[in-house]
Amino acid sequence: MILESLLAYAHIAALLGMVVFISSEAALCRGEWLNAAVVERLVRVDLLYLVATAAVALTGLARAFWGVKGASWYWTDWLLHLKLALFVVVVLMSLRPAIAFRRWRAALRAGRGLPPADEVVATRRWVMRAAHLVPVIPLAAVFLARGYGH
């Protein structure tokens, strides 16, 4: 039971980290606040978001394989597949902003200045869309944990 509790804690902590860093990206990615320091910070925050996202995936796999219920219980539940699909969609949606942040930093370092306002708005929309999907994942997890998908 201690292992199960620690695995659950690690998974929840990783998810909270993911939420913190995607929220930070959304807060920082605003045309009226954007300057060279914010662009640098966006790239660092995005790296932390990537680490937190990887931690969510790894701790989730650890729970599935080493948890009390076992892999066969999880992998036959459609709610797990919903969770995984939503997670993959969020990750894919996060690629576009990640690439934009790095492109902005490269442009700044090359002396080409800040991105145009419309590009900042479009990038922030992608961050916000992904951020709004993230809370649906734990909703599916709550039902999964209680056996509703079986």
Residue given tokens 């892999």 in the structure block: 71
Q: Could you give the residue ranges of the DSSP H alpha helices within 29-135?
A: 36-66, 71-75, 78-109, 117-133
Sorted by where each begins, the domain ranges of the chain are 2-145
How remote is the C-alpha of 110 from its chain's centroid? Answer: 29
Please give the pLDDT value at position 1. Answer: 82
Please give the pLDDT value at position 145. Answer: 86
141 closest CA partner among 68, 64, 66: 64
Question: Contact 126/90 with Cβ under 8 angstroms?
Answer: no
Q: Tell me how many helices (H) and strands (E) the chain has.
A: 6, 0
Please give the pLDDT value at position 4. Answer: 92
Tell me the mean pLDDT per 10 residues along the chain, length 150: 94 98 97 96 98 98 91 90 97 98 98 97 98 96 86
